[in-house]
Amino acid sequence: MLQGGIIVHAPNARLLTIGALCAAALVLLPAPLSAQEWPQKSVKVIVPLAPGGAADLVMRAVGEEFTANTKQAVILENRPGGGGTLAAETVMRSPADGYTLLMGNSAIFGVTPHLVKKINYDPIKDFTPITTFVELPIVLVVNNDVPANNVAEFIDYAKKNPGKLSFGSSGYGTTMHLAGELLNERAGIQMTHIPYKGGAPALVDVLSGQIPVVMAALSTVAPHIGGGKVKVLATVESKRSASHPDIPTVGETLPGYAVPASWLGVLGPAGLPEPVTAKMLTEFLRATNAPNVQAMLKKNGFDMLTRSGADLGREIKEDFAVYGKIFEAARITPQ
């Protein structure tokens, strides 16, 4: 009989005592950990947004360093739609072996469960949190046709032109969507939401004048800051971005307005063995903390934030509760 990689023959009557002692010794021996062998093949990461956005940028940077360290490829599979539910459900149903992961964000776990009447996953129970990479400042951006250079002027213009403005986001049920709806409620304005399959295509339509406003990740907008085609009016979180402290928050003009900080990180399906999870945390932190990765991410407007799986799990629970209160205050009902 094979136990823990050691062949143990069934004891006969004479060897019962010896067999019992051997069995006791085997219990004391450390069992072989699959973590010692992970990863032995490529790791697939399901991204809940369209290619070209912030999630892609972060995961590609981390993934390239991960591959250099482990000699195993990171394969990105973009699966947008449903406010992240399609990607989340795919990972939830995957084997808990560490080879199919979710590029998660705060929206999938904090926003979507409040926006969608029926989702097929439990944001608390159905996933194994591993780590976060960055916080993702979100900014209110307008094209040059909007006669506003700050939040106060924007709100004034929107009030004088009810129903005229529409705002794009990276999709229904994302933090960007909620940020716009909360601005509607707190400022007493009427913007129409236009969901896109990712922040990049939404920004393209603002740049081309197809829509006037977008709530987008600062990292997506960063290459266009100072280019003269769009105006970045404010961030939507409670504090200014560490990478762009010159951009004010909406709350500085509209007291009480703020959405929880958005994060990007990785999670696996529920039931991932703890030793494998620990190895994954080690490897992802090693990749994220590489100087070249840190420099690139900071340059592109990300605020660095790494944490343990336990800390991420607590953050998910806290975000879920906070977003519930925001939905109640904004009178947004599930659909």
pLDDT of residue 27: 43
Angle, alpha carbons 181-312-134 (nearest 5°): 70
* Tokens, residue 199: 């922040």
Write down the residue that tokens 């800390």 correspond to: 311
Backbone φ and ψ of 143, nearest 5°: -85, 175
Do residues 59 and 103 lie in contact, with contact meaning Cβ atoms separated by under 8 Å?
yes
Here the tokens at position 111 are 């926003």
**Domain assignments of the chain as residue spans, ordered by start:** 2-32, 38-134+264-330, 138-252
- Do 38-134+264-330 and 138-252 come out as alike in CATH topology? yes
Confidence of residue 36 (pLDDT cuts 50, 70, 90): low
Q: How far apart are CA 79 and CA 87, in angstroms?
A: 6
CA atoms within 13 A on the CB side of 1: 7
- The more confident residue out of 1 and 243 is 243
Model pLDDT, residue 29 = 42
pLDDT mean over 84-88: 93
* C-alpha to C-alpha distance for 94 and 64, rounded to whole angstroms: 23
Q: What pLDDT is attached to residue 8?
A: 34
**Is 202's pLDDT higher than 80?**
yes
Residue with tokens 């529409």: 166
pLDDT higher than 70, residue 292: yes
Q: Is 103 helix (H, G, I), strand (E, B) or coil?
A: strand
Average pLDDT over residues 70-98: 94
Question: Rounded mean pLDDT of 239-250?
Answer: 94
Q: What is the mean pLDDT of residues 69-94?
A: 94
Residues 6+ apart with CB under 8 A from 214: 141, 167, 168, 169, 176, 199, 202, 203, 205, 206
Token pair for 207: 């740049």
Decide which of 136 and 21 is more confident.
136
- Percent of the chain at pLDDT > 70 equals 89
Token duo for residue 68 = 């250099």
Scan for tokens 């539910």, then name that residue. Answer: 85
Q: What is the mean pLDDT of the chain?
A: 87
Share of the chain above pLDDT 90, in %: 64
Q: How confident is residue 93, by pLDDT bands cut at 50, 70 and 90?
A: very high
Positive or negative: CA dihedral 125, 127, 130, 133? negative
Higher pLDDT, 119 or 249: 249
**Superfamily per CATH, domain 38-134+264-330:** Bordetella uptake gene, domain 1 (3.40.190.150)
Quick one: pLDDT band at residue 195, thresholds 50, 70, 90? very high
Alpha carbon 91 to chain centroid, angstroms = 14
pLDDT at 134 over 90: yes
In one letter, which amino acid is 16? L
The residue whose two tokens read 């913007």 is: 191
Which residue type, as a one-letter code, is found at position 299?
K
Report CA Rg, the chain: 24
Give the separation between CA 85 and CA 212, rounded to whole angstroms. Answer: 28
Residue 21 — pLDDT band, cuts 50, 70, 90?
A: very low
Instruction: List, for residues 204-235, the tens digit of each pLDDT value.
Output: 999 999 999 999 989 889 889 988 899 999 99
- How far is 234 from 69, CA to CA, in rounded Å? 38
3-state secondary structure of 171: coil
The SS3 call for residue 262 is coil
Beta carbons of 127 and 104 less than 8 angstroms apart: yes
The pLDDT of residue 82: 81
- Residue 35: pLDDT band by 50, 70, 90 thresholds? low
- Mean pLDDT is lowest, of 18-27, 138-147, 178-187, 247-256, for 18-27
What angle is formed at CA 109 by the lines to CA 78 and CA 191, rounded to 5 degrees? 80
> Per-residue pLDDT averaged across 21-29, rounded?
41
Give per-residue pLDDT as tens, 148-170: 999 999 999 999 999 899 999 98
Write down the CATH superfamily of domain 138-252: Periplasmic binding protein-like II (3.40.190.10)
Residue 10 in tokens = 């069934």
